[in-house]
């Protein structure tokens, strides 16, 4: 059973773009978000002098995805003032420390290793880390505490507007290997059948996740918007959409921000995804939405 969480965010300057302190009520962890040009001000924040993990955040403009570096230090401010400023790409840092000062070097190395792994698995960002840090061995009780810490890091990062740690599909039935259907709580399974094209997807809180193995047409017609054309070409150039036996096949689960984006990019022309995507009962997304409001 999932429980709600209360989050407090303190805006040090009273503005959303300045330094922020964020915490989950009844949790000893804490997050500080700071713009790059104001790093020197962190020396006045005792939280920054503690052991912790940090995220240097930028953007890959060409592919419209976050650029992220994940690191750890026994003194976060010191690391940011030396190692951090040598990296060019980032514009914001978010770091996590603990109010009770119980994080050890082994703990933060564990956090760094697991967070790098989760960011790679989520596949929402480009990591600037050259290598995946080795996972240290820590006692079972400490490991469980750090896994809980990681869960709260994900929650706070998402609340601060950074979702690169969140899986595109949060729960997958790994026993189902013959199809790309997923058993997902709160998500709706969809299919798209257009001419000889077959695709499977999930309607989620963020949009439509088209599932690995779905088919696409190679055509890109003039009716497709320039933005959607670019996404399709990027999928092809990155190898996420490849040709197999005369068809284009999606090689990863991929999140589209709307049903029409998902349908249009797969089909290669302007499409009404709210009508084309249907659930197992044959209901369109438009019908599902209409029924949910009555």
pLDDT digits (tens, 9 = 90+) for 42-89: 999 999 999 999 999 999 887 788 999 999 999 999 999 998 888 999
In this structure, what token pair is assigned to residue 80? 């940011």
Buried b / exposed e along 99-137 (16+ C-beta atoms within 10 A):
eeeebeeebbbbbbbbbbebbeeebbbbebeeeebeeee
pLDDT score of 2: 76
Q: What sign has the CA pseudo-torsion 260, 263, 268, 271? A: negative
Q: Distances from the Cα of 32 to the Cαs of 2, 9, 63, 227, in angstroms?
A: 26, 10, 27, 34
pLDDT score of 293: 79
pLDDT score of 170: 63
For residues 95 and 104, give the distance between their C-alpha atoms in angstroms, rounded to a whole number.
Answer: 15
For residues 154 and 142, give the distance between their C-alpha atoms in angstroms, rounded to a whole number.
Answer: 18
Rg (CA), the chain: 22
pLDDT score of 185: 46
The candidate with the shortest Cα–Cα distance to 69, out of 22, 126, 29, is 126
pLDDT score of 275: 95
pLDDT score of 181: 36
pLDDT score of 1: 66
Q: Which stretches of the chain drop beneath a pLDDT of 70?
A: 1, 170-185
pLDDT score of 187: 86
pLDDT score of 64: 80
Residue with tokens 């999930």, as numbered in its chain: 202
pLDDT score of 175: 34
Over the stretch 197-210, which tens digit does the pLDDT of each residue have?
999 999 998 999 99
In this structure, what token pair is assigned to residue 89? 């790409």
């Amino acid at each position: 059973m999932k429980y709600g969480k209360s989050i407090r965010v303190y805006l040090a300057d009273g503005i959303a773009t300045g330094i922020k302190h964020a915490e989950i009520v009844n949790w000893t962890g804490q997050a500080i978000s700071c713009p790059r040009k104001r790093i020197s001000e962190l020396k006045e924040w005792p939280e920054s002098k503690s052991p912790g993990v940090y995220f240097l955040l930028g953007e890959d403009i060409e592919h419209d995805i976050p650029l992220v570096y994940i690191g750890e230090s026994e003194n976060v401010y010191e690391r940011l003032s030396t190692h951090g400023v040598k990296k060019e790409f980032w514009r914001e840092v978010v770091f996590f420390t603990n109010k009770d000062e119980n994080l050890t070097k082994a703990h933060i190395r564990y956090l760094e290793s697991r967070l790098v792994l989760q960011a790679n698995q989520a596949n929402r960002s480009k990591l600037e880390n050259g290598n995946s840090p080795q996972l240290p061995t820590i006692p079972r009780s400490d490991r469980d505490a750090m896994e809980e810490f990681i869960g709260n890091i994900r929650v706070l990062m998402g609340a601060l507007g950074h979702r690169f740690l969140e899986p595109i599909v949060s729960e997958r039935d790994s026993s189902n290997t013959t199809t790309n259907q997923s058993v997902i709580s709160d998500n709706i399974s969809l299919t798209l059948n257009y001419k000889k094209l077959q695709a499977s997807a999930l309607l989620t809180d963020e949009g439509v996740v088209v599932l690995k193995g779905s088919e696409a047409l190679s055509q890109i017609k003039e009716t497709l918007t320039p933005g959607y054309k670019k996404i399709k070409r990027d999928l092809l150039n990155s190898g996420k959409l490849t040709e197999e036996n005369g068809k284009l096949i999606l090689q990863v689960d991929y999140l589209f921000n709307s049903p029409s984006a998902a349908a249009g990019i797969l089909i290669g022309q302007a499409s009404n995804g709210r009508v084309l995507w249907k659930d197992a009962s044959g209901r369109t997304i438009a019908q599902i939405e209409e029924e949910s409001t009555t």
